[in-house]
């Protein structure tokens, strides 16, 4: 049995421990508390056929979010352009593979409700 050296296990544990030093828990992360004043759902009209979940969100659920606008931009993949209080671009998030319920949930959590929605 001595031919099997288990020192690699300790090395692996040290590597994992070292790797996790800079990680943080999402629930306590300040980014999880970030909210935006609005968003632009940007997408290419010609590419919409490839993104049925985005189409379903735009057609059936987008009206629930008055501070979210749809903008058609040639050759743009589906993305959310997140805006601050002054309407300035803060962050861009690709949503190519998101389901519509994920888009809805993200916007509910991250975009401040306007007075109309309250």
| C-beta of residue 38 within 8 angstroms of C-beta of residue 111 | yes
In a domain, 64, yes or no: yes
- pLDDT on residue 6: 56
In a domain, 7, yes or no: no
- pLDDT on residue 22: 66
pLDDT in tens, the chain (118 residues): 455 565 556 666 676 776 776 665 555 554 566 789 999 999 999 999 999 999 999 999 999 999 999 999 999 999 999 999 999 999 999 999 999 999 999 999 999 876 554 4
In a domain, 87, yes or no: yes
- pLDDT on residue 112: 86
- Give the 3-state secondary structure of residue 89: strand
Q: pTM for this structure?
A: 0.69
What does the alpha-carbon distance between residue 15 and residue 62 come to, in Å, rounded to a whole number? 45
- pLDDT on residue 54: 97
**Which residues form the domain of 45?**
33-110
Number of domains in the chain: 1
In a domain, 46, yes or no: yes
In a domain, 105, yes or no: yes
Burial of 104 (0-12, 13-18, 19+ CB in 10 A): middle
What does the alpha-carbon distance between residue 41 and residue 31 come to, in Å, rounded to a whole number? 21
In a domain, 4, yes or no: no
- pLDDT on residue 118: 45
In a domain, 83, yes or no: yes
What is the CATH classification number for the domain harbouring 93? 3.40.30.50
- pLDDT on residue 23: 66
In a domain, 102, yes or no: yes
Question: For the stretch 55-84, what's the b/e string if a residue is b when 16 or more beta carbons lie within 10 angstroms of its beta carbon?
Answer: eebbeeebeebebbeeeeeeeeebbbbbbe
């Amino acid at each position: 049995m001595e031919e099997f050296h288990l020192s690699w296990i300790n090395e692996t544990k040290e590597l994992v421990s070292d790797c996790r030093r800079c990680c943080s828990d999402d629930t306590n992360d300040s980014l999880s508390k970030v909210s935006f004043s609005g968003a632009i759902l940007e997408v290419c009209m010609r590419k919409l056929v490839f993104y049925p979940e985005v189409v379903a969100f735009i057609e059936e659920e987008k009206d629930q979010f008055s501070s979210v606008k749809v903008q058609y931009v040639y050759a743009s993949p589906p993305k959310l352009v997140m805006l601050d209080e002054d309407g300035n671009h803060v962050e861009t998030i690709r949503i190519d593979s998101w389901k519509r319920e994920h888009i809805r949930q993200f916007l509910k959590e991250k975009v401040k409700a306007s007075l109309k929605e309250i």
